[in-house]
Amino acid sequence: MSAVTDLLQQVVEGLGSGAVYASLALALVLIHRFTGIVNFAQGELAMLSTYVAWQLVASGMPFWLALPVTLAVSFAGGMLVERIVIRPVQGAPELTVVIVTVGLFIFVNALAGLIWSFTVKDFPQPFPDGGLDLAGVRVDWSTLGIIGVVAVVMGVLYLLFQHTSIGLVMRAVACNPASARLSGIWVGRVLMLGWGLAATVGAVSGVLVAPVLFLEPNMMGGVLIYAFAAATLGGFDSPVGAVVGGLFVGVAETLTGAYVGVIGADLKVGVPLVIILAVLLVRPQGLFGRAAVERA
């Protein structure tokens, strides 16, 4: 294997992890677009959805039937979470809502451990084993599959944001709920929809990454940090940014971890930090974010 193939192989690995980060980052972007908050529990909700899928498969349901059922359950679950957990603090300071999601994070994580224990579960791989061999570079089908699905979700979200009336409505709600309400928007419903959709996207993410990361209650904890990094880099309101940010973070940390001896695998987590800081100092709204125009 030549140095170039080595390099390309590392890039592929980076894209693989990047796609994992991007998949959850999409859910973070979605909820931020709808509600204007950062949801710390997003990863844990995704993990919970994945357990639902696992439970269905384990009880004998075929995977391709379990998947839509899981997505539907997640959608309903997300809406329920908004109604029960978030609605009561609506209108409270924003940080209060964020801390509620932190509480939700701890709750869901412990709940999953209580129900399913912390033993690693095997999750069915929706994509075939093995992979492509492109001039000596191995690309697993699962990596390609994750990237493909992430691209599709990104496309759907882009269309949703830019080309539907929902997109406009939720932007109004996220910007200023009071004004939105005054102009006849049913704010509560829009927020519920946002949580439902985000939970669904999260469920897709969980189901995608579970065969690679292995399912256990802390599966999404590590991903969440990187997904935050991805969304921050890309701009918190852009699905395209989330995906580009995720892939970029994945490739950058893998390459520096592998090739820059001083940094090494232990400090590679610092790489996205530096990149993000550098990017944000130039573009405080992230790579693909829109600058918030303020009326002061």
Partner 1 sequence: MNTITAALGTDRARRPRAALTVLLAAAAAVGAPFYFAPFQVFQLTMVLLYAVALAGLNLLVGFGGQISLGHGAFFAAGAYTAAVMLDRYDTGHLATLPAAAAGCFLLGLGFGVPALRLRGLYLALVTLSFAVFLPPLLKRLEPVTGGSMGLTVDKLQPPAWSGLAEDQWTYFVVLAVTVVALLLARNLLRSRVGRALLAVRDNESAAEVMGVRLSLHKTLAFAWSAMFAGVAGCLYTWVIGFVSPDSFSFVLSITLLAGLVVGGLASLYGPLLGAAFVMYVPSVSQDVSEAAPGVVFGLLIITVMFVAPTGLAGLPGRVLGAVSRRLPRTTAALDRTPEADSVPETDSVPEADSVPEAEPKSPAGSRPATTLTPADPAVVDAEPVGAPPRTEKE
Partner 2 sequence: MRKTTALRAAAAATAALLTATACSSQRGQDDQSTTAGGACKGQQTTGITDKTIKLGGIYPLSGPASAYGTISKGVAAYFKYVNGKGGIDGRKVQFIVRDDGYQPPKAVEEARRLVEQEKVFAVFQTLGTPSTAAVWDYLNKQKVPQPFVATGASAWGTDDKHPWTIGWQPNYVAEARVYAKYLKDKKPKAKVAVLYQNDDFGKDLLGGFKKAVAGSGIKVVAEESYEVTDPSVSAQMASLSRSKADVLLDVTTPKFGSQALAADARNTKWNPLHIVNNVASSAAVLQPVGFKNVQGVVSATYFKDPADPQWAHDPEMKTYMNALHKYAPDADPANQFNAYGWAVASSLHKALDAMKCPTREGLRDAVRNLKDVKVGLLLPDVTLSTGHGDAFPLETMQLMRFKGERWQLFGKPVDTRKEFGPLTK
**Where on the chain is the footprint of partner 2 (CB under 8 A)?**
1, 6, 9-10, 13-14, 16-17, 20-21, 106, 110, 113, 117-123, 129, 131, 138, 140, 209, 212-214, 216-219, 221-223, 225-226, 253-254, 257-258, 264-266, 268-269
* Residue 9 engages partner 1 in binding (rule: CB under 8 A): no
The H-or-E segment that residue 3 falls in is helix 3-35
* Residue 100 engages partner 1 in binding (rule: CB under 8 A): yes
The one segment of 65-73, 141-149, 153-161, 170-178 that binds partner 1 by CB under 8 A: 170-178
Structure tokens of 140?
A: 């697993």
The single residue listed with the structure tokens 């759907």 is 156
Q: Which partner from the list partner 1, partner 2, none does 111 bind, CB cut-off 5 to 8 Å by kind?
A: partner 1
Nearest-angstrom CA–CA distance, 132 and 178: 53
Which of residues 131 and 167 has its CB atom nearest to partner 2 in the complex?
131
Find out whether 241 and 287 touch, Cβ atoms under 8 Å.
yes
156 burial (CB, 10 Å; 0-12 / 13-18 / 19+) is middle
Which of residues 60 and 295 has its CB atom nearest to partner 1 in the complex?
295
Q: Which partner from the list partner 1, partner 2, none does 20 bind, CB cut-off 5 to 8 Å by kind?
A: partner 2
* Residue 260 engages partner 1 in binding (rule: CB under 8 A): no
How remote is the C-alpha of 155 from its chain's centroid? 15
The phi, psi pair for 162, rounded to 5°, reads: -95, -30
**Which of 65, 118, 267, 290 forms a contact with partner 1 (CB under 8 A)?**
267
The SS3 assignment for 20 reads helix
Nearest-angstrom CA–CA distance, 42 and 27: 7
Nearest-angstrom CA–CA distance, 35 and 161: 13
* Residue 109 engages partner 1 in binding (rule: CB under 8 A): yes
218 burial (CB, 10 Å; 0-12 / 13-18 / 19+) is middle
Which of residues 208 and 272 has its CB atom nearest to partner 1 in the complex?
272
Nearest-angstrom CA–CA distance, 35 and 172: 10
Q: Which partner from the list partner 2, partner 1, none does 171 bind, CB cut-off 5 to 8 Å by kind?
A: none
131 burial (CB, 10 Å; 0-12 / 13-18 / 19+) is middle
* Residue 291 engages partner 1 in binding (rule: CB under 8 A): no
Nearest-angstrom CA–CA distance, 11 and 103: 37
> In the complex, what is the shortest distance from the CB of residue 9 to partner 2, in angstroms, rounded to a whole number?
6
* Residue 269 engages partner 1 in binding (rule: CB under 8 A): yes
> In the complex, what is the shortest distance from the CB of residue 224 to partner 2, in angstroms, rounded to a whole number?
9
Residues contributing to the site for partner 1 (CB under 8 A)? 32, 36, 38, 40, 85, 88-96, 98-100, 102-111, 113-114, 176-178, 181, 187, 225, 228-229, 231-232, 236, 266-267, 269-270, 272-273, 276-277, 280-281, 284-286, 292, 294-296
